[in-house]
Amino acid sequence: MSDHETHRIIDWLDSGLELFRVNEGRLTMQEVKILSLLAVARQRLSDDAESRRDRARGGAESGED
């Protein structure tokens, strides 16, 4: 998956998370579970994208020596 695609998905997840947060005091237990799953998915995608960027930077830096 490209960084662009990953960021599009993260943006979509952020929008969904914001909708849940707006209604945070009125969420059912099932909605709280969904909120948690979305938050975990967003974090994992973000971590994966950051790892790919770090590996790409490391490869570019080692090639510059």
Q: What pLDDT is stored for residue 61 in this prediction?
A: 67
Model-level pTM? 0.78
Reported as a single tens digit per residue, the pLDDT across 20-59 is 999 988 999 999 999 999 999 999 999 999 999 899 888 7
**Phi, psi angle pair for 7, to nearest 5°:** -65, -35
**Mean model confidence pLDDT for the chain:** 90
**Residue 48 belongs to what domain range?**
3-64
Question: Is residue 65 pLDDT above 60, yes or no?
Answer: no
Counting the structural domains of the chain, the total is 1
DSSP 8-class letter at 25: G
CA distance 58 to 65: 11
